[in-house]
Amino acid sequence: MPEPSTVALWVVLALLVVFTGVAISRAIRIVPQATAVIVQRLGRYHRTLDAGLHFLIPFIDKVRATVDLREQVVSFPPQPVITSDNLVVSIDTVIYFQPTDPKAAVYEIANYIQGIEQLTVTTLRNVIGSLDLEQTLTSRDQINGQLRGVLDDATGRWGIRVNRVELKAIDPPASVQDSMEKQMRAERDRRAAILNAEGVKQSQILTAEGEKQAQILRAEGTAQAAILEAQGEAKAILRVFDAIHTGNPDSKLLAYQYLQMLPQIAQGESNKMWIVPTELTQALQGIGAALGPHGPSGTGSLDGPPVGTAGGFDHADEVEVDEPSLEDPAKALARARREAAGAAKEAEESTRAARRRGLGASQPGPGPTEPGPAPAAEPEMPDEPTE
């Protein structure tokens, strides 16, 4: 069994080893990067340890606080704020700050994060209280700048630098949100209606321009067509006029052509009345005078004067005329006279019937002592030549 003195010695040696270990651990201090350590000696501020290896006096120097020098981000809970138009909005804020003086951050304020939060809330209420809801929603940059200026000025003596202040969310009341949505929807509908009206306006303008151009082109085409048609008719008339003057027709041929066109005048299903022209008797008298007394072989025949005479062509070798196969003049004349007499009689009967109907509708007929209207004298027709 060991002696008591030996046991006491071992105990003392053990305590000495423990004391030495604790003293060494307190004397040696390794500070990491971007960290500051506040050291107090005998209860008073002694120095600030930067990054690296440092030696302290055990049981005399004591570490007061360790300060993180990196930029920190703190998000505060939503805060109710009243605007100038008496609306309560809930605002979330985010603060970006960085300690620049570890000694001031430790000794000037007990909890700088809590101090920044309360200062942010009070400053935010002062700033938002001078703005209405619309300005609050649209002036975030202005609010952030004012908050940052006030916070940076107040936290400077705390050894804190506020880098940025951001409004994370601005939540108006539910009723206000509903009204804002309705207003936004109405504004969008108004813009859509304006854009639709602008589109319709442009479409109508383009349509009108297109119709205008089409009408102009159509009118120009019609004018060109009319000009060309008039020029063609003018050329045709000149050709016919030149041909007639070159052929030098006499009155007998013209009268015969006139009689041939009379039946075509009376043709047609809708013709109920046929007016006999006054030139008919003259034409018939001319043909009768040409063919009646002398006959086809006399001087009044349809054959014109010989070529080279006063009534014929001046130059027989310049115009070549094919001999047409014509109907016998006497038969044609008799048929034309019969058709003309029938047409004249029918026209006279139609005229009498129209007069009777007109007189019967407007006034009573003549009395027994008053004679009726005298019948119109029929035009004199020359005697038909005997075949």
Task: Provide the Cα torsion 243, 249, 254, 260; round to 10°.
Answer: -60
Mean pLDDT of 358-383: 45
| CB-CB contact of 155 with 161 (8 Å) | yes
Nearest CA to 30 out of 56, 61, 52, 57 is that of 52
| CB-CB contact of 347 with 265 (8 Å) | no
Is the C-alpha dihedral spanning 240, 246, 251, 257 positive or negative? negative
Within 8 A by CB and 6+ apart from 170, the residues are 89, 90, 91, 136, 137, 140
Nearest CA to 149 out of 123, 113, 188 is that of 123
Q: Is 386 helix (H, G, I), strand (E, B) or coil?
A: coil
pLDDT per residue as tens digits for the range 174-189:
888 788 888 888 999 9
Reported confidence tier of residue 17, pLDDT bands at 50, 70, 90: confident
Nearest CA to 263 out of 209, 188, 341 is that of 341
Q: 199 vs 305, which has greater pLDDT?
A: 199
Q: Which two structure tokens, joined as six digits, stand for 108?
A: 């000037």
Q: What is the pTM of this model?
A: 0.45
Mean pLDDT of 257-261: 71
Residue type, 355: R
Mean pLDDT of 164-179: 84
Reported confidence tier of residue 265, pLDDT bands at 50, 70, 90: low
d(CA 133, CA 119): 22
Q: What is the pLDDT of residue 209?
A: 92
Q: Which two structure tokens, joined as six digits, stand for 139?
A: 């002036």
Outline where the chain has alpha helix (H): 4-27, 102-107, 112-129, 133-138, 140-155, 174-247, 251-266, 279-291, 329-362
Reported confidence tier of residue 22, pLDDT bands at 50, 70, 90: confident
Reported confidence tier of residue 284, pLDDT bands at 50, 70, 90: low
d(CA 321, CA 318): 10
Q: Which two structure tokens, joined as six digits, stand for 271?
A: 């013709």
Q: What is the pLDDT of residue 302?
A: 40
312: pLDDT strictly greater than 90: no
Q: What is the pLDDT of residue 381?
A: 43
CA distances from 252 to 261, 285, 300, 330 (A): 15, 11, 9, 13
Paired strand residues for 36: 67
| CB-CB contact of 161 with 98 (8 Å) | yes
| CB-CB contact of 45 with 107 (8 Å) | yes
Mean pLDDT of 341-358: 73
- Residue 133 sits at φ, ψ, to 5 deg, of -65, -45
d(CA 129, CA 79): 13
CA distances from 228 to 67, 218, 220 (A): 105, 15, 12
pLDDT per residue as tens digits for the range 57-67:
888 888 899 99
- Between the two ends of the chain, the Cα-to-Cα distance in Å is 195
Domains of the chain in start order, with CATH, are: 4-68 (no CATH), 72-172 (3.30.479.30), 249-362 (no CATH)
Reported confidence tier of residue 240, pLDDT bands at 50, 70, 90: confident
Burial annotation 271-305 (CB, 10 A radius, 16+ → b, else e): eeebebeeebbebbebbbebbbeeeeeeebebebe
Q: What is the pLDDT of residue 205?
A: 93
pLDDT per residue as tens digits for the range 313-347:
443 344 444 444 445 556 766 776 777 777 777 77
How many other CB atoms sit within 10 Å of the CB of residue 151?
A: 20
Residue type, 140: R
